[in-house]
Amino acid sequence: MSYRILDAGDAALTIEFGSVIDPALLAAVNALDAAILSLQQAGELPGVIETMPTFRSLTVFFDPLTTERSALLVALEPLIAAAEHGRAADGRHWRLPVCYEGEAAPDLAEVAATLGIAAADVIDLHSGTEYLVYMLGFLPGFPFMGDLPERLRLPRRAQPRVRVPAGSVAIATGLTAIYPWESPGGWHLLGRCPVPLFDARRASPSLLAAGDTVRFTPVSAAECRAIEAGLGRGDIDPMQWLESAPTPAETTA
């Protein structure tokens, strides 16, 4: 695996591992991110402020009054070399409920017609796939997840929506996602997930993280409303949809 280092202004560097969406690149990005965090916590990487991971790269922000670009590169080189050959860390495994009915799925019939398959087949394909969370972005807690089955792949909508409801489950190209907030959007809306993906009151505000995997369980509109009501009252903990998490030994392996 090759990489290149790009300047991002006078106080940031971007380490780019490739140009495609691929689990191997994600593993390298996450391994480098974890290694930098470990050194930061140990006080062995002065000047580094924070990191920003993407599908294929990691941007490192630093204080130019504390460290120089050349010194930072020297410190990062062995970490980058190790990350290139690192294996993917085992993330958490989630099974989230999704309503694929009525108003929750405004594009389901159109997607099915465009693909030439039944709406039930779209639901089966979408809910029958395990997705990898590649990165969070666009909105707080917004997960870009892949890889969508080839049979479901469509370009973005020709006409984006001004408002996409919070909780909307959508597809575009080879990815699927959940909108944590109401926002504009150009993806095809297949359903609605009632579980909030971002809560600033939590220690970790984003429910999902890069490296996690997600499966969807179809639920009825009535079940979806009941889940939303229970979450709103505080009777339901969003963590109940966590199927498993890595042990400390797996996390540090």
List, for residues 189-237, the tens digit of each pLDDT value. 999 999 999 999 888 899 999 999 999 999 999 999 999 999 999 999 9
pLDDT of residue 132: 96
pLDDT tens-digit map of 72-110: 999 999 999 999 876 666 789 999 999 999 999 999 999
pLDDT of residue 253: 43
pLDDT of residue 245: 81
pLDDT of residue 247: 61
| Gyration radius from the chain CA atoms | 20
CATH class of 93-252: mainly beta
Instruction: Indicate if the pLDDT at residue 249 is higher than 70.
Output: no
pLDDT tens-digit map of 109-150: 999 999 999 999 999 999 999 999 999 999 999 999 999 999
Question: Can you give the pTM of this predicted structure?
Answer: 0.87
pLDDT of residue 178: 98
Q: What are phi and psi of 200, to 5 degrees?
A: -65, -15
How far, in Å, are 30, 207, 219, 224, 237 from residue 51 at the CA level?
11, 19, 37, 36, 30
* Spans of all domains in the chain: 4-84, 93-252
pLDDT of residue 86: 66
Instruction: Indicate if the pLDDT at residue 31 is higher than 50.
Output: yes
Among the CATH numbers 3.40.50.720, 3.30.1360.40, 1.20.1640.10, 2.60.40.10, which is that of 4-84? 3.30.1360.40
* 3-class secondary structure per residue, 205-250: CECCCCCCEEEEEEECHHHHHHHHHHHHHCCCCHHHHEEECCCHHH
Instruction: Indicate if the pLDDT at residue 252 is higher than 50.
Output: no
pLDDT of residue 84: 83
pLDDT of residue 2: 82
**Mean pLDDT across 69-74:** 94
Rounded Cα gap, residues 250 and 36, in angstroms: 18
pLDDT of residue 88: 62
Q: Please indicate whether residue 206 or residue 244 has the higher confidence score (pLDDT).
A: 206
**Mean pLDDT across 14-41:** 93
How far, in Å, are 48, 56, 110 from residue 38 at the CA level?
12, 20, 48
